[in-house]
Amino acid sequence: MLEIRRRLIHISVGLVIIAVLSMWGAGSYEYIEGMLFVAFLFGLWIIDQKMKKRKLPVVDYMLEMFERPHATPAYGAFWYGMGVLLLLSFIADLNFIRAGIAILAFGDGIATLVGRSGTMRLFYNPDKTIEGTAAFFIASSFAAYIFIGSAGIALSLLCSLAESVDWGVDDNFIIPLTCVLFYLLI
């Protein structure tokens, strides 16, 4: 149940960012970047307070509801925000930015849910499954196609392969980085 809640948040955050970009266009970049900056500062304060073993009732409840046990608090959220900032900083095309966020939100969100029940492990990364990688590709292809057409399918394939490799960096950053590299190369 925890992972379902986490993935719903993962997808919802992406949808909110896409909605803001869709409503306000390129003029919303500063607002999104500003919100992410405030969130980063707040996150650093939370980490500081938690390292000092202080009780923060609302934060403690949120961490209990959405964070994996024994995980660094908000580690994935930090990299999610960094990934979105990367997309906003290096991609000039609004539709391509929205496609990148959709791939991050839907591809990664669905891949985890499907992959956890998968049985066929990837030979190059036993922490991932073929089912999860396929789910990533299918979900992200549909999501990206909405914004950039058939290029979204190629981008989704590349992102699903990049996400399946253990790079030693959180996939919430690897996926947007792959989108940026794809964008810069085409």
Lowest mean pLDDT among 72-86, 138-152, 172-186: 72-86
Q: CB-based contacts of 78: which residues, under 8 Å, 6+ apart?
A: 40, 43
- Residue 1 is predicted with a pLDDT of 76
> Is there a contact between 11 and 106 (Cβ–Cβ < 8 Å)?
yes
Q: How many C-beta atoms surround the C-beta of residue 132 within 10 A?
A: 26
| pLDDT band at 7; cut points 50, 70, 90 | confident
- Average pLDDT across the chain, whole number: 91
**C-alpha dihedral sign at 139, 144, 147, 148:** negative
**Domain residue limits, the chain:** 2-185
Question: How much of the chain exceeds pLDDT 70, in percent?
Answer: 99
* pLDDT tens figures, 47-68: 788 789 889 888 887 877 777 7
Q: Which residues of 141-153 are buried (b: 16+ CB within 10 A; e: fewer)?
A: bbbbbebbeebbb
> Crossing angle, helix 2-24 and helix 57-66, to 10 degrees?
110
Q: Comparing 156 with 41, which gets the higher pLDDT?
A: 156
3-state SS assignment for residue 131: helix
Question: How much of the chain exceeds pLDDT 90, in percent?
Answer: 60
> Is there a contact between 103 and 143 (Cβ–Cβ < 8 Å)?
yes
Lowest mean pLDDT among 19-23, 42-46, 78-82: 42-46
Question: pTM for the complete prediction?
Answer: 0.88
pLDDT for residue 72 is more than 80: no
